Amino acid sequence: MGVTVNGVELEWRERGEGDVVVFIHGFPFNSAMWGHQLAALPADWRAIAPDLRGFGASEIGPDPVFAMDLLARDLAALLDHLNIERVVLCGLSMGGYVAFEFWRQCAERVRAIVLCDTRASADAPDTQRARRSLAERVRREGPAPVVDALLPKLLSPLTVRKQPGIVAMVRAMMEETPPETMARALLGMAARADADTLLRTIDVPTLAIVGADDAITSRGQAEMLARGIRGARLELIESAGHIPPLEQPEEFNNVLGQFLTGLPRNSLSTRTAFGF
Ligand code: MLT
């Protein structure tokens, strides 16, 4: 499905009916990474999984930097188009950075948050420099520098050994991402604001999830994230690296399903004729 919002045509996958959970993919993936979650969402839930601008089937648009707040505004505009008011956000890594910005912009639209393999702190100056030079290389050389830098760190050793199909799928998702999209998202992540102080303002049910073998977001970072948010719980997914929803979908879906079904029901997802 596609619609033009904020000047770009965005595509999304969706499944089910009921209260809405929005799945926000990581870098440099697309909505396909949430296939197992869309297929197994609890009854009475509706999943919306957008391709962020430039990723998957969505248009890239004119903005030279994909600032995280721009991506969050895209999301809000998509939800406006779908006439959806309040949602559960579920973001992985860069998707988590977008979720923080969505919260900053319109916390009243967020019922609950699931933060997977992500962190609140902004990049240190050396990481920013590395991202900017990677953006330049990707523009010159195509996706290979990003694939080569990221792929060895993304998946748990067990996934690499036992699930060649997942390795191939992750590689394909990365290689299909246009280099210009990668460059703009790298620049956006490098420039992102620190969300550490924002954590204290989060007052909706929050679940943090991290793969036990995540070599990109450490367990320590995930613990710090969960500690920063009042009442947040941290779940560790064994035998998963940076992408537990793909690497250990059953375990991930159990944890997510329990969280979703434990939320208070009857909170309206859809705008009424009277507005809010
Ligand atoms: C992601 O998976 O979205 C990236 O690892 C995020 C990042 O590079 O900080």
Q: How far is the CA of 267 from the centre of ligand 1 (A)?
A: 32
Which mutation among 182, 184, 216 tests ligand 1's pocket best, with the greatest number of atoms within 8 A of CB? 216
Closest CA to ligand 1's atom 7: 94
Q: What is the pLDDT of residues 217-250, one digit of tens each?
A: 999 999 999 999 999 999 999 999 999 999 999 9
CATH superfamily of 2-121+192-261: Alpha/Beta hydrolase fold, catalytic domain (3.40.50.1820)
Ligand 1 atom closest to the CA of 131, numbered from 1: 8
At what angle are helices 179-190 and 125-141 packed, to 10 degrees? 170
pLDDT at 274: 42
Closest CA to ligand 1's atom 4: 27
Q: How far is the CA of 124 from the centre of ligand 1 (A)?
A: 14
Encoding tokens for residue 58? Answer: 């969505």
Q: How far is the CA of 140 from the centre of ligand 1 (A)?
A: 21
Give the confidence band of 72 by pLDDT, cuts at 50, 70, 90. Answer: very high
Ligand 1 atom closest to the CA of 217, numbered from 1: 5
DSSP 3-state assignment of 25? coil
Indicate the domain borders of the chain.
2-121+192-261
Is there a contact between 240 and 211 (Cβ–Cβ < 8 Å)?
yes
Q: How far is the CA of 214 from the centre of ligand 1 (A)?
A: 11
Measured from the Cβ of residue 35, the count of other Cβ atoms closer than 10 Å reads: 16
Give bridge partners of residue 15 from the DSSP assignment. Answer: 47
pTM comes to 0.96
Ligand 1 atom closest to the CA of 93, numbered from 1: 3
What distance in Å separates the CA atoms of residue 46 and residue 84, rounded to the nearest whole number?
Answer: 11
Q: What is the pLDDT of residues 93-117, one digit of tens each?
A: 999 999 999 999 999 999 999 999 9
Q: What is the pLDDT of residues 16-55, one digit of tens each?
A: 999 999 999 999 999 999 999 999 999 999 999 999 999 9
Side chain identity at residue 96, one-letter code: G
What distance in Å separates the CA atoms of residue 23 and residue 30, rounded to the nearest whole number?
Answer: 10
Classify residue 208 by its DSSP letter.
E
Chain centroid to CA 128: how far? 20
Residues 6+ apart with CB under 8 A from 221: 119, 121, 210
Q: How far is the CA of 85 from the centre of ligand 1 (A)?
A: 28
Measured CA distances, 248 to 117, 233, 255 (Å): 13, 19, 11
Q: What is the pLDDT of residues 151-188, one digit of tens each?
A: 999 999 999 999 999 999 999 999 999 999 999 999 99
* Ligand 1 pocket, CB under 6 A: 26-27, 93-94, 189, 216, 242
- What element of type H or E holds 24? strand 19-24
Q: How far is the CA of 253 from the centre of ligand 1 (A)?
A: 21
Strands 8-16 and 45-50: antiparallel
Q: How far is the CA of 93 from the centre of ligand 1 (A)?
A: 5
Ligand 1 atom closest to the CA of 123, numbered from 1: 9
Ligand 1 atom closest to the CA of 243, numbered from 1: 2
